[in-house]
Amino acid sequence: MIRTRVKICGITRVVDGVTAAEVGADALGFVFFEKSPRYVSIECAAEICRNIPPFVTKVGLFVDASEEMVRDVIENVNIDLLQFHGDESPEFCQKFNLPYIKAIRAKCKESILEAMQAHSNALGMLIDSYVPGVPGGTGSTFDWQLVPSEYRSKIILAGGLNCANIVDAIKTIRPYAVDISGGVESSKGIKDREKIYQFMKEVASADKIY
Ligand SMILES: O=C(O)c1ccccc1NCC(=O)[C@H](O)[C@H](O)COP(=O)(O)O
């Protein structure tokens, strides 16, 4: 059986990080973008990461951050992976001696393929919804037919996923991983234990289908 990995993004509290890890999330995301309602400070993220078991991947998210800021996070938070949501170049993304995920907002097939080729050294490509002026965490889905099937093993599907649509999403795309934020929240930045649990159950049931 193929197992779809799950990344839960926008963790702002120790309790949510611990719950997500307990319930089986493979990765947790921390948003270092001050304009986001899910922003976490370096101190807060470091405290959460100290409480998370070692085999859960900790991901630091940035939106056109300075090199200095990315380095500050790497030095002070025990993160394993970087995730870039802005217009960062491949050269910038590869500066930090850590693997990275490049987030692409799904405007059209051509722009997705172009970004995938430019970021061929990225560990994964997170394909998210395109909402003008919003770099991530939109809560909106997009046309999944835009996802290039030939890159399946690198694709992290994001954007408006929830318990009601995740089985369909996995059956349609068969991504390597799925990423969810708003779909497992009770309010922005506050995760809901029951929703996380249900989401993990739905992913497992989708995996049994193939
Ligand atoms: O979550 C945010 O507020 C955010 C802000 C700026 C850049 C990225 C952000 N989140 C990144 C993620 O990986 C989200 O999980 C992804 O966009 C999906 O969010 P949602 O549609 O709410 O599931």
CA separation for the pair 111, 187 (Å, rounded): 32
Active site residues: 9, 128
| Radius of gyration (C-alpha) of the chain in whole angstroms | 16
Q: Which CATH class is domain 5-209?
A: alpha beta
Tens of pLDDT, residue by residue over 121-146, are 999 999 999 999 999 999 999 999 99
Is residue 131 a contact partner of residue 164, using CB atoms and an 8 Å limit? Answer: no
Tens of pLDDT, residue by residue over 85-128, are 999 999 999 999 999 999 999 999 999 999 999 999 999 999 99
CA separation for the pair 167, 114 (Å, rounded): 28
Nearest CA, atom 8, ligand 1: 136
Q: What are the domain boundaries of the chain?
A: 5-209
State whether the beta carbon of 31 lies less than 6 angstroms from ligand 1.
Answer: yes
Query: pTM of the prediction?
Result: 0.96
State whether the beta carbon of 158 lies less than 6 angstroms from ligand 1.
Answer: yes
Tens of pLDDT, residue by residue over 157-166, are 999 999 999 9
